[in-house]
Amino acid sequence: MENRQKEKVWFITGSSRGFGKIWTEAALKRGDKVAATARDIRSIATLKETYGDQVLILELDVTNVTQVQNAITRANEYFGRLDIVFNNAGYSLVGTIEESGTDEVKALYETNIIGPVHVIQAALPILRAQGYGHILGTSSAVGIYSNPLIGYYCSSKFAFEAIHDSLAKEVAAFGIKVTLIEPGAYNTEFGSTESLKIASKKLSDYDDLKNQLMKNLQKLERGNPLATTNAIFAVVDAENPPLRLLLGKNDLPHIQQIYSERIQEWETWKPISVAAQG
């Protein structure tokens, strides 16, 4: 069964800031219905004043599996269906591989990987029963390649990508679509204390690397996050949406170069690889 209704029902995590806030408000402005979630509902309370019954405000920490299950159930009961389930909550950990403590890495993975899995697993029984639905996840261009100083954040997005890649193959037969949204560099609140944590350990050995990277960051061309809404709508309105969608113009050339270099390296070492077959 395919959902033919023009008006869509969204469930969005991380609705209080950054892309999540922009996409939540854009969906409401175009007349869709949204279950908007945040760890602190005071940060999104004004949505109710503006949009009334069109929006459902839910307190949600994605690391709390019971809270996730209750939020998904409430949203489905309130709106009668779920068309789009959008995992957007997450944050970055800044620090080298050596500097970042294992507790900091575990906390990052709990939010960036396990949290979205909670949402997906809670939503799938509803979407399968409907016979349709679209699961979206905010990944990153650094879910495709890694950068220094944010290696653990990159690794969380690598895992996020793999999970959604497998998921797409598993749920296609149920009429459920899956799309990874992969933003490049944008002027969002991703650098705020809520969205970015600094590793507690600091080693002076890496100062030169950090200083160079900071200089490079200052030169980085950043996109306008408000310009991304039409891309999101194009994906959710498409009959055959992509599994992956890059946002921005700068990452595809970089990714093409990286993949070319990887293939070249594999080709160079091909005799060794083939000999290892036995």
Considering the entire predicted model, what is its pTM?
0.93
| Residue from 153, 155, 156, 177 carrying the catalytic annotation | 153
Q: What is the pLDDT of residues 99-141, one digit of tens each?
A: 999 999 999 999 999 999 999 999 999 999 999 999 999 999 9
| Residue from 15, 139, 155, 156 carrying the catalytic annotation | 139
Active site residue 78: no
Q: What is the pLDDT of residues 150-161, one digit of tens each?
A: 999 999 999 999
Q: Hey, what domains does the chain have and what are their CATH numbers?
A: 9-247 (3.40.50.720)
**Residue 5 pLDDT grade (very low, low, confident, very high; cuts 50, 70, 90):** low
Q: Are 79 and 186 in contact (CB under 8 A)?
A: no
| 263: its two tokens | 């293939």
Active site residue 51: no
| Residue from 8, 21, 33, 157 carrying the catalytic annotation | 157
**Residue 253 pLDDT grade (very low, low, confident, very high; cuts 50, 70, 90):** very high
| 202: CB partners within 8 A, 6+ apart | 95, 99
Active site residue 139: yes
How far apart, in whole angstroms, are the C-alpha atoms of residue 74 and residue 109?
A: 26
How far apart, in whole angstroms, are the C-alpha atoms of residue 175 and residue 84?
A: 13
Secondary structure (DSSP) of 101-155: -HHHHHHHHIIIIIHHHHHHHHHHHHHHHHT-EEEEEE--GGGTS--TT-HHHHH
